[in-house]
Chain A
């Protein structure tokens, strides 16, 4: 890895450490107590899902316009990372919802639209996996990537349009954010840290796709990884301690992020190795 290649992960690592420290040092909420700390991982995951799908949209339009293979790789990589973050946001929301709302899941418009978004983009990845010819794959997925984005604003605005159990946005609302300033600082710090991690993941995924394309072997179908969806087990007694929930949420978040990154790196190393073999 070049110096510039190592700089981004290093900065992201520092930012994540700072974000984690900020999240743990921020004051507890007057109602939720320590549970509010789950916000510092749930909100960034959800926000990055939106960002990822927006990048997919822009790259898809870019492909339809200029037909550069790079745009298709970015669209695909971003959609996969977006599906990962959507899954993470749902899992973390579930972990946050159980102790606060009292349920893992409910048929709230925000939750339902988010789950639908997850499945729409899972369909996008399945479509890519099913198509072999790179140009045909790029064309089909670019069209679907544009159509699928309709879902994203609906998810974001669902809490405003409809009366939901899920709270409306705290930061992205007109006027002063309705949040304690030290908590806001921790949230923004984590947003920045997660965005940097997102950039690392996206870059790694794009590089993996480029390496696979370069390898151009038949067995190299760009199989997408389904994100680590943690399915809460039913009948499992909820731990009473608020800290237990926070620890659970954070280990899911960082475990999934680290696992996903490790998986991408490992795949790229293997592709490189195979490329070396075939040479």
Chain B
């Protein structure tokens, strides 16, 4: 019976190591709900066949143009200048909270270099504040 107890202890050790590997390894980067604009650009080749994907980023202030059936805007990875951007074209009514500077997740596919989306989810962050303290980096 001692042999089996030893096996149990060894099993615990191995599973602890595996769990650690999973959490601190790079699996987290694969298990994502959406890609960031820089990842989306880097993985363009994977999605050339019209496969749908989700891209999440911030709506670049001043880039929103209304079109007859939706919007055109630029999706940026971050607020600092020089971060990767994706040109997006969204068909359909925007979500209620949509504004420039806010985080959105778009679902759709590539057409050339433009990301054609038909589903838009607004991603709000964990920061809450009263309207008067309009801080920089809103979103």
Contact = CB atoms under 8 A, between A and B. Distances in A.
Contact of A39 (B36, B99, B128): B128
B105 A170 contact: no
A29 B123 CA distance: 14
Contacts of B28: 161-163
A102 B121 contact: yes
Contact of B121 (A103, A167, A169, A178): A103
A131 B67 CA distance: 62
B47 interface: no
B34 interface: yes
Interface residues of B, number: 31
Contacts of A9: none
B7 interface: no
Interface in A73-117: 99-103, 106-109
B130 A165 contact: no
Nearest to B130: A27
Given A163-B56, A167-B124, A168-B126, 4 more contacts: A27-B130, A102-B122, A163-B34, A180-B129
Interface of B: 23, 28, 31-34, 36, 56, 95-97, 99, 102, 105, 119-131, 133-134, 138-139
Interface of A: 27-32, 35-36, 39, 99-103, 106-109, 161-165, 167-170, 173, 178-180, 182-183, 238, 240
